[in-house]
Amino acid sequence: MAVGGGADLLRPPRSSGRATFLELFFDLAFVVALTRVSQRFAGLTDDTGWQLVTGCARTLLLFLALWLIWSHTAWITSRYEPERPIIQAVVVGTMFAGLVMAVTLPRAMEERALPFAVAYLLVMVVRPLVVAAALRGHPRRLVPFRLAAWSAATAPLWLAGALGPDDLRLPLWVAALAGDYLAWALGWPLPRLGASAVGRWRIAGTHLADRYQQIFLIALGESILVIGVVFSGTEYSAWRAAAFGVAFATSALLWRIYFHRAGLLLTEALGRAAMPGRLGAASERTHLLVVLSVLVTAVGYELVIDHPYGPPRPSWLLFVVGGPVLFLVARMRLEYEIFGSAPRSQMTGLAALLLLTPALAHGTPMVGLSVVAGALALVALLDALRSRRRPLEFSASPIGQEASGDPDSEA
């Protein structure tokens, strides 16, 4: 039983697992943010060599910073009662900071670096202090204190990168973000206080699963937006219309493959886990890859619809084929997290794409996207054949099923 002041802030055991309207409102800022990430990636399609590598690294860093903000918020609303005014204020404040990061993101590695970094630090440093103050004497208050301490330690790197020379920004921010992710993985250890392993946290597992499914659909919705905007803004031709259709079919196949079995049973798996925090932490990393893969694939849509039979370039292969390859890898990881096994259908599709990639490097974007759609259709077909006339499956996750020892007093 929760003791101490601030216990009323914790999610009660019978709290609804559904996301609140406030959380769905919060996601609107990240619709803008994910669109800006895709736009930055799209701006790299004409680059080659080292310029392409550094451009991808910068955009990936900005995406990872946004993801850390979103995922921390999802965990907060899974641990604390989102209907409480203080938690609602925290979510709205985070939404505003996320929107600032979104609007500065296109030039965040250039002249808008400072507002991006400041918005990020306000969430990472100030927000946990607000939560800790609201928890008052409750033992769990030490968890946000740890987070604030570690974020304050990496803050000088963020600010130095924003205010310093442009050529030092990327390495400084990489070091800062690596510190933030490492702290999360280690449980933000501090002298005397020790660490608070995320895998041992008490969370509303069904709520966290709901949030992961929603962010995937948001990313998928962003890809549909790209398809519609690009096609409506280009000169009509039969080839562009065909590319429009293939791009839509690819997105529909991504949806089908994700929600078949594992994606659909994610809620059940987290709800049944003895230690949902452990499975939730693993699933968080998986969904990072899932969302990133959808964004990268959406850039491929834009390239193919604009120039369906343009000359082959290394950059288009990275987006048109690389995005779906990353998606299949992440989806295989999700399958293991839910069932403890690797699906042959997705392994087959992944092997087909990897084997055909050298040949696709010499083809046109339209041919590449068509082959990708064919490989994904094969995965979906094999999934359907495997499930045909089989009883309804249940999750059998090997992660977080056995609790070792007593949970942390702060968990």
Query: 211-231: per-residue pLDDT in tens?
Result: 999 999 999 999 999 999 999
C-alpha dihedral, 28 to 30 to 32 to 35, nearest 10°: -130
Cα–Cα distance measured from residue 116 to residue 62, given in angstroms and rounded to the nearest whole number: 9
Q: What is the mean pLDDT of residues 182-203?
A: 88
278 and 374 share a domain? yes
Task: Give 369 or 403, the one with higher predicted confidence.
Answer: 369
253 and 145 share a domain? no
pLDDT band at 402; cut points 50, 70, 90: low
Cα–Cα distance measured from residue 79 to residue 380, given in angstroms and rounded to the nearest whole number: 35
- Residue range 228-253, pLDDT digits in tens: 999 988 788 899 999 999 999 999 99
Please give the radius of gyration of the chain, using alpha carbons only, rounded to the nearest integer: 22
- Is residue 298 situated within a structural domain? yes
- Is residue 278 situated within a structural domain? yes
Q: What is the mean pLDDT of residues 48-76?
A: 92
- Is residue 87 situated within a structural domain? yes
What is the count of structural domains for the chain? Answer: 2
What type of residue sits at position 212? Y
What pLDDT score does 295 carry?
A: 95
155 and 137 share a domain? yes
- Is residue 408 situated within a structural domain? no
44 and 163 share a domain? yes
Q: How far is CA 408 from CA 181, 240, 279, 388, in A?
A: 21, 57, 17, 44
- Is residue 357 situated within a structural domain? yes
Structural domain that includes position 97:
16-196
165 and 231 share a domain? no
What pLDDT score does 138 carry?
A: 81
pLDDT band at 400; cut points 50, 70, 90: low
217 and 160 share a domain? no
276 contacts: CB under 8 Å, gap ≥ 6 = 203, 204, 205, 208, 270, 400
Q: How far is CA 386 from CA 97, 251, 259, in A?
A: 45, 22, 15
35 and 147 share a domain? yes
- Residue range 88-146, pLDDT digits in tens: 999 999 999 999 999 999 999 999 999 999 999 999 999 999 999 998 878 888 899 99
Could you tell me the pTM of the whole model?
0.92
- Is residue 154 situated within a structural domain? yes
Looking at every residue in the chain, the average pLDDT score rounds to 89
Q: What is the mean pLDDT of residues 285-312?
A: 92
Burial 143-181 (b: 16+ CB within 10 A, else e): bbbbbbbbbeebbebbbbbbeeeeeebeebbbebbebbe
Strand pairing partners for 80? 10
What pLDDT score does 2 carry?
A: 43
120 and 137 share a domain? yes
132 and 242 share a domain? no
Q: CATH number of the domain at 287, please.
A: 1.20.1410
Asked if 334 contacts 262 with a C-beta cutoff of 8 angstroms, the reply is yes
277 and 352 share a domain? yes
167 and 258 share a domain? no
Residue 161 has pLDDT above 90, yes or no: yes
What pLDDT score does 117 carry?
A: 97
Residue 406 has pLDDT above 80, yes or no: no
- Is residue 411 situated within a structural domain? no
Interhelix angle 238-258/365-387, rounded to 10 degrees, is 30
Residue 342 has pLDDT above 90, yes or no: no
Q: What is the mean pLDDT of residues 385-407?
A: 67
What pLDDT score does 140 carry?
A: 83
261 and 319 share a domain? yes
- Is residue 276 situated within a structural domain? yes
Task: Give the residue from 136, 171, 196 where a domain finishes.
Answer: 196
